[in-house]
Amino acid sequence: MSELPQTTLSIEKTQGELEERDLAEVRKLATAAQETDGNPPLSDQTLVALGSEDLSDKVFSLRAEQQAAPGESSLVGVVAAVREPETDSWVVELVVHPQYRQQGVGSALLQRLGEELDLSTIQTWAHGGHPAAKKLAEGIGLSTVRELYKLRREGSEALEIPELDRRSTVRSFRVGEDEPAWLAANAAAFADHPEQGSLTLADLDSRMAEAWFDPLGFFLALDATEKVIAFHWTKIHPATTDSVRPLGEVYVVGVVPEAQGMGLGRVLTALGVNYLLEMGVGAVMLYVDAENQAAVNLYRSMGFTLWDTDIMYGPKPIES
């Protein structure tokens, strides 16, 4: 692997929120990488963090630019680092523009990151288990610490919706009304989840501001007291150059502890999948932790099959 001439590659750090123009460039780079790799290189939470003014001490980014001509430069790579609130560890995502790979951009970004953080202590995602990401991670002494399955359901056949428990009702999310109740239910449902369970109102508002947000596809299950006890938030990804129809996503399904065992996860998942099919998607996908065997079995029983795997690399476990 050859390094780019130092005179052509510059790396700048931004602490906290990116300016709107810079964030737009990062999104554009991420889209280019996704169209090549088939996987989004930056998670939704990372993009939210990069655009948040409330996380100045918990997020920073490194932007690698190559000079094309005097006074002109192109964004060729990005590192985003977000400090996890629960563990206080740094989670890093790195993306290099497809046209500038195998030219030392990733190595240069990692070298610069090493000036900011102890690389042996970070955690980093490889979306789709990209071989180049594995090579970079292993090169700094990291190993696999978590696997996230990406499952997919093809076809347009609707799912059978089980009968809802008579103590419960289901309706769509009401913007301006349901935010506090959903945040409480989400925190309870994902109390042990390192990312999802820590979502704030600012995080929710950022997602609701996205072009893909559809409150009609955000289903809430309520008990007899109108308390939110389960939910299924769906998402639709626009069609790409490789697909004629958009792709649906089971974005997040959650059930609060006291409502476990009522079958609400299956009911809401089926409702959401059928809604996505009605909206014209060509397939439906979802993410699930590989270790969550109960959820994996549920989704497999509904016609989902393994499509790909995201891998988190981190410090090697200390042997006892």
The pLDDT tens digits for 259-290 are 999 999 999 999 999 999 999 999 999 999 99
Strand 247-255 and strand 228-237: pairing? antiparallel
All domains in the chain, ordered by first residue = 9-140 (3.40.630.30), 151-309 (3.40.630.30)
- Residue 18: its pLDDT value, please? 93
Q: Using pLDDT thresholds of 50, 70 and 90, give the confidence band for residue 243.
A: low
Query: In the predicted model, is pLDDT for residue 159 greater than 90?
Result: yes
Using CA atoms, how far apart are residues 267 and 272, in angstroms rounded to an integer?
9
Q: Using pLDDT thresholds of 50, 70 and 90, give the confidence band for residue 197.
A: confident
- Residue 241: its pLDDT value, please? 64
3-class SS shares of the chain: helix, strand, coil, % to 5: 30, 30, 35
pLDDT tens for 93-105 read 999 999 999 899 9
Using CA atoms, how far apart are residues 19 and 203, in angstroms rounded to an integer?
18
In degrees rounded to 5, what are phi and psi of residue 240? -110, -175
Q: What is the DSSP letter of 128?
A: T
Using CA atoms, how far apart are residues 40 and 52, in angstroms rounded to an integer?
20
What's the sign of the alpha-carbon dihedral 16, 17, 19, 22? positive
Q: Do the beta carbons of residue 313 and residue 143 sit within 8 Å? A: yes
- Residue 181: its pLDDT value, please? 97
Contacts made by residues 28-35, CB under 8 angstroms, sequence distance 24+: 28/75, 29/75, 29/76, 29/77, 29/78, 29/95, 29/97, 30/78, 30/95, 32/97, 32/98, 33/95, 33/96, 33/97, 33/98, 34/240, 35/240, 35/241, 35/242
Query: In the predicted model, is pLDDT for residue 67 greater than 50?
Result: yes
* DSSP bridge partners of 95: 78
Name the residue with tokens 């997040």. 252
Instruction: Work out the percent of the chain whose per-residue pLDDT is above 70.
Output: 94
As given in the structure block, the two tokens for residue 237 are: 């990804």
Highest mean pLDDT among 71-80, 127-136, 195-204: 71-80
In degrees rounded to 5, what are phi and psi of residue 113? -60, -35
Q: Do the beta carbons of residue 125 and residue 81 sit within 8 Å? A: no
- Residue 244: its pLDDT value, please? 75
DSSP letters of 39-68?
S-SS-HHHHHHHT-TT-TTTEEEEEEEEEE
pLDDT tens for 53-64 read 777 788 999 999
Higher pLDDT among residues 42 and 68, named by residue: 42
Chain mean pLDDT for the chain? 89
Using CA atoms, how far apart are residues 279 and 95, in angstroms rounded to an integer?
31
3-state secondary structure of 144: strand
Using CA atoms, how far apart are residues 143 and 137, in angstroms rounded to an integer?
7
Q: Using pLDDT thresholds of 50, 70 and 90, give the confidence band for residue 192.
A: confident
| Mean pLDDT of all residues in 185-199 | 84
- Residue 317: its pLDDT value, please? 67
Query: In the predicted model, is pLDDT for residue 5 greater than 80?
Result: no
